[in-house]
Structure 1
Amino acid sequence: MGKRLNNIVDTVSNKRLWASVLCGASLVFAYAPFSLWWLTLLVLPCWIYYVNYQVTQSTTPVKTATQHGFGFGFGWFGTGISWVHVSIAEFGGVPLVVSIALMILLCLYLALFPAAALYATAKISDKLKRPTLWWLLAPTWLLAEYLRSVFLTGFPWLSLGYSQMDSPLSILAPIIGEIGITFVITIFAVSLFYLSHKKVKLASAALSSILILIILGYNATWVTDTGKTTRIALVQGNIEQSIKWQPDQQWPTMLKYLDLSRVNYDADIIVWPESAVASIETLSTTQEFLDVANRSAALNNTAIITGIINYYFETERYFNALIVLGKKHAEDDEAAYYYNNKNRYYKNHLLPIGEFVPFGDLLRPLAPLFNLPMSSFTRGDYVQNNLLANGIRLLPLICFEIAFPAQLSANFTNQTNILLTVSNDAWFGNSHGPHQHMEIARMRSLEFGRPLVRSTNTGVTAMTNQYGEIVEILPQFEQGVIKADLPLVSGLTPYARWGDLPTYIFALLLTLTIIFTTICKNKKHLNSNS
């Protein structure tokens, strides 16, 4: 135990390691709301150059590379997801110092993934008896990011590709997706590193390939505007999280959303945020309200999509749901909603602690953090039908689910007209978390070539066109409604067809090529010396 503690102390006190921490920490400015996208393309190659120098000077290169990967990851997530502690401190019922400590623990966990990428890069290089083969960093980083997106339900926040949403590299999103852009960024950074070491041929070829890919992307048209539009209205209630679930606030909240919608019945579809109806769907009082809203919307030839909580008394299961009120088909004259109909969506990818508590029997007695309102949800099916509202098919995702392109892809069809995501980012206050969340949503729109609408309680509420460009946006922490005529498009992007598979195949081929050519070089060198 004493030896391990000394190793930890030595690592923390290592001044050289703190340079990697600062490099990682600086990346927070590459993401929304700062959006200095060029920072990623500058910091990453400089960091690789620095780590390479430290590794070459070290007697334990694998350990040194791993430590610097961990330091970079800790800085990266320490600043990037610092907003996590807001919900823990304000709504988790724990002191500020405890919330910060829990946030640090999360960052330490996430830092393991870039550490693993550098460990694998250095370890394979060591086995091949070569100096660090930095070309391996692109595939090992890709593998680490995949593991981060699936392990313990996944947390793929702040992947490098998101920082390029407004950069020239964003043109690649419909082709290879965000994770493909991450792969390109690492290739770009490694290429610059090798150029600085005057290893020009392969680096120049890699940079030229990236440039050609960007040029081809700019000249390609993946989806076609049909000439038709649909008018969407998004309602932002701006309900304080501290009163949202209080029983005496339920009717005032529901009536607020209905009143804001009534003056916008010229829209084809009106969208309310996640759990906008802060009541259980099965309750008689809730059914009375839904019946009024349903008939009112249908009478005015519109549809309302709202978040709500459903509870099955027979099975004692809660679901975080989206339901459609009003017109299901454009040609319908009657209201389409009735309780437990199939035109609904149940959230599949639940948020740990907030929506389900692992080892709940053990953790719930420890702190109010593990007893947040509605923290015992059941997962909906992974694949569900698109919602149908006034003749428009919307692919729904609730809150955190928008960060998982594979889930979106599994539910995407040729008939999908619009991507729909709702959230309640009031949990994270006036932090950069909601802005990062919107940035992720914009990337999904660009990848799949569909307009996207995002309705939230306190912001960021916005709409994008099929290119991920924001066409309407509401200020945060203000009650209001935005409306826009969104284009309906047809066609599929390459990413919608094949997802991440081409990137993973290319990464595997790159890995095998590097290993094979290195082994051949080693044999040739051995033969020349014998």
Structure 2
Amino acid sequence: MPDHAAPAGASRRSATTAGRLRTRIAALTGWRRHAAAIALGAVAALAMPPFCAAPLLLVAFPGLLFLLDGAERGRAAFAIGWSFGFGFFVAGLYWIAWALTVDLARFFWLIPFAVAGLPALLGIFTGLALWLLHGLRLQGVSRVLAFAVLWTLAEYLRGHILTGFPWNLIGYSWVGWIPVLQSVAWIGIYGLSALTVAAMAMPAAIGRRGGGVATALGLLLFAGLSVAGWLRLQDATTATVEGVRLRLVQPATSQADKWNPDLWPQIFQQHLALSARPATQPVTHIIWPETSVPYFLSRDAHAREAIARVVPDDGLVIAGAPRIVESGGPVQYFNSLAAIDGAGAVVGTYDKFHLVPFGEYVPFRSVLPIDKITSGTTDFSAGPGPRTLELPGLPPVSPLICYEVIFPGEVTAEGEDAVRPAWLLNLTNDAWYGQTAGPHQHFAIARTRAVEEGLPLVRAATTGISGVVDAYGRVTARLGLGEQGVLDADLPVALAEPTLYARFGDRGLWLLLALFSVAAIGLRRLGRA
């Protein structure tokens, strides 16, 4: 294929340098090749929150494609992609193993599976993407566009197969670059991933015909997205909902203490004391984190009465609490949210529907001889799905418990009769993950849902990060990781109209991937690859 049209001057030197680098990296074999792929994957992980070093992808993705140049067979291409994914997921998800240290005596043997086993499984997705890319036999710009399509499809499959795990999608590298993040309001996080991969991998085409121009266009694209996002933010409202003042309670309780039944009364009293702290402005509603109440409220009138004493006038305490259903069949347990009024009555509930495998239930329980890592031996049951909850004194809300907030397009109720919520409420318990990158990543992902949906998001976390995010992803109030205290804040207003993504979902993604595919085919046929 014609791929070495000689540029002049600086362009010629750039192409020569790229060619030499490509040759040296492609020549790596054996363990050196796989070590390089793992290292490049770890570099890509630094683009994720909390670092948000997106420019590092300009090193990681071209390096990956240079390694692919040295693969003669499909299985070698798969191994390169798998190794890159393994490095990416080990560096980005190491914090999952921290949860197992809460009960180290029982779960120490699972730590290697969490540290290496899960990344090994997730690496299959990147391995398949590189295997397919190798089979297409493309070069230059065409190959980069095809790579962006296949990488994004791999992310999409990872986010949907079985229960799905759409964590650390490449588009999240822009959470720290708020103007660029505005683009998810139009194309969603998967669409931003596709654009990111295409632009950041394009330097791999330098030295091929059209590669330098395509690289410049990719960088200009993100400059354009920055300008478009900046303009969008110039018209962004800072208005808040009149008559609503929220208090988020962050007790900073360690997970080991939360598991200790002897400490439950003390932890419960701590929530009550924090809720009763004097406020500089009247608070209307108090929000506690996930599983902040260790008791079944339907059975425990004393707990309801204690909560009622700290409920603001005509307000509510909204708290995470387990719920038990004992009538009409086997006993069921739910990870739930309950809204309690000043009379001690539960006036609204929500049951988590997207449960954490091995944390809230054991998949294939009849085959796997292990217990879930949370307390108790009985699995939680799943709720019916996203819903809009109407609560006294508040705009309609879509509750989300823990990692339900990580699933794009699945955070609000759907259907003709569904009421559009005016805000998202995320109760979570990130105490499992200590002072690691996990809670920072979780908070960043939650911020992205706010931009996608055009809805403010309120997040109450046991150890942090708790905060209030407006419909543009701007953090208006925040309590940091590990801090104990309360956060009093107004509730930002929602956008007057749903975003393009909220209306059309991933249709923009499929259009974008189709355009990339057509362009890749067209460039190949024109001999411009």
State the TM-score bracket (shorter-chain normalisation): 0.7 to 0.9
Other-structure match for 1:103: 115
Which residue identity lines up with residue 422 of structure 1 in the other structure? L
More deviation in 75-84 or 134-143? 134-143
Is the 1:223–1:493 Cα contact (8 Å) retained in structure 2?
no
RMSD over aligned Cα atoms: 3.0
Equivalent residue letter for 1:261: S
2 CA distance for matches of 1:130 and 1:163? 25
How much has 1:131 moved relative to structure 2?
A: 11
1:482 matches 2:492? no
Q: Please state if 1:189 is matched with 2:203.
A: no
The aligned runs of 1:228-267 (5 Å cut-off) are 228-229=241-242, 230-263=244-277, 266-267=282-283
Q: 1:324 to 1:515 in 2, by over 3 A?
A: same
Aligned counterparts of 2:393 and 2:49: Cα–Cα separation in 1: 34
| Offset of residue 87 of structure 1 | 1.2
Q: 1:321 maps to what in 2?
A: 336
Map of 1:272 onto structure 2:
288
Is 1:91 aligned to residue 93 of structure 2? no
TM-score, structure 1 as length reference: 0.84
Q: How does 1:11-30 map to 2 (within 5 A)?
A: 13-30=30-47
Counterpart CA distance in 2 for 1:131 and 1:255 is 62
- Do 1:354 and 1:372's aligned partners in 2 also have CA atoms closer than 8 Å? no
Q: Which one-letter code corresponds to 2:48 in the other structure?
A: Y
Take 1:411 and 1:236, find their aligned partners in 2: how far apart are those partners? 31
Q: Which whole-Å CA distance do the structure 1 matches of 2:412 and 2:395 have between them?
A: 18
Give the corresponding residue for 1:449: 454
- With over 3 angstroms needed to count, the CA separation of the structure-2 counterparts of 1:375 and 1:114, relative to structure 1, is farther
- The offset of 1:249, in angstroms, is 2.6
SS in 1 for 2:396: strand
Deviations 1:252-291 (A, max 9, x none): 22222122112257212211000100112332xx232213
Which of 131, 134, 150 is the matching residue for 1:140? 150
Are positions 1:392 and 2:400 aligned together? no
- Could you tell me which runs of 5 or more consecutive residues in structure 2 were left unpaired when the two chains were aligned: 1-27
Whether the 8 Å contact between 1:226 and 1:487 is mirrored in structure 2 is yes
Shift of 1:389: 4.4
Offset at residue 49 of structure 1 (A): 4.5
Structure 1, unmatched stretches of 5+, are 1-10, 328-334, 525-530
Q: How far is 1:391 from its partner?
A: 2.6
Q: 2:319 aligns with which of 306, 310, 324?
A: 306
Secondary structure of 1:150's partner?
coil
State yes or no: 1:428 paired with 2:450. Answer: no
Identical positions, percent: 28
Whichever residue aligns with residue 36 of structure 1, its letter is A
Aligned to 2:191: 180
CA offsets per residue over residues 423-453 of structure 1, 9 Å max, x none? Answer: 1111112211111111111111222222221
Matched, 1:418 2:423: yes
In the superposition, relative to structure 1, how do residues 274 and 228 fare at CA in structure 2: closer, same or farther (>3 Å)? closer
- Tell me, in whole angstroms, the C-alpha distance in 2 between the residues paired with 1:507 and 1:110: 22
Question: Could you say which residue in structure 2 is the equivalent of 1:161?
Answer: 171
Q: Matched residues in 2 for 1:107 and 1:350: separation?
A: 20
The question of 1:458 aligning with 2:458 is answered: no
Which segment drifts farther, 312-321 or 481-490? 481-490
User: What secondary structure, in the 3-state scheme, does the structure 2 residue paired with 1:408 have?
Assistant: coil
Q: Amino acid of the residue matched to residue 322 of structure 2?
A: I
Relative to structure 1, the CA distance from residue 475 to residue 416 in structure 2 (aligned partners, 3 Å threshold; closer, same or farther) is same
Mark the CA change 1:378 to 1:228 in structure 2 (over 3 Å): closer, same or farther: closer
2:82 to 63, 70, 92: 70
Q: CA deviation at 1:226?
A: 5.2
Report the counterpart of residue 508 of structure 2 in structure 1: 502
- Aligned residue for 1:278, secondary structure, equals coil
Cross-structure match for 1:379: 382
Contact preservation (8 Å) 2:65, 2:204: yes
Query: Which residue is 1:337 aligned to?
Result: 345
> 3-state SS of the aligned residue for 1:175?
helix
Match of 1:50 among 63, 66, 71: 66
Does 288-297 or 201-210 show the bigger shift?
201-210
Contact 1:385/1:411, CA 8 A, preserved across alignment: no
Which amino acid is the alignment partner of residue 272 of structure 1?
W
Structure 2 residue identity aligned to 1:363 = L
Q: How much has 1:191 moved relative to structure 2?
A: 2.9
- Corresponding letter in the other structure for 1:246: N
Write the deviation string for residues 402-437 of structure 1: whole angstroms up to 9, x where unpaired. Answer: 110221144697742221111111111221111111
